Structure 1
Amino acid sequence: MALADLFKKKSSGNVAKDRLKFVLVSDRANCSPDTMKLLRDDIIKVISKYMEIDPEGLDIQITETESENRNGRVPALYANIPIRDMRHSSR
């Protein structure tokens, strides 16, 4: 995340859109919007250790999918994470 990104002002429409997304996703996941925000922040923190990402473009969704053993549907977390660049470690 670039320093300039921290100070970039979002339009009220974009802020409202992000809030609505969090409400819809948290409703599907049966967890609070605060929990979804913490999940999103943790994902950004971990992924950012290994690559430079666009946190504004991050899209997290919880849907349902068929379980592997075919005994019903289970929640599934899908994350679309725009990658700007890979971080090169000295390992």
Structure 2
Amino acid sequence: MGFGRKKSKETLKNRLELVLAYDRAKIAPGKVDALREDLLAVVKKYFPTEGSNIEVEQRGDSIMLVASIPLEKEPR
């Protein structure tokens, strides 16, 4: 049981840090989610693939969008 609590505590801490970073950067709620969806739509238009993911991370005082997009080879 202790392991699950530690993971939940860390997740909650990370979310709180992001909320505070959004507030400091004056980013409106939902704007980052809308940007994430728009970016995924554009990527999927040019690189049809499953498993693409864009996450929001805080690095120091900066908020970063980090993309993980597996590119599949097109058949020749």
TM range (shorter): 0.3 to 0.5
TM-score by length of 2: 0.47
TM-score by length of 1: 0.42
User: Comparing both structures, which one devotes a greater share of its residues to strand?
Assistant: 1
User: Comparing both structures, which one devotes a greater share of its residues to helix?
Assistant: 2
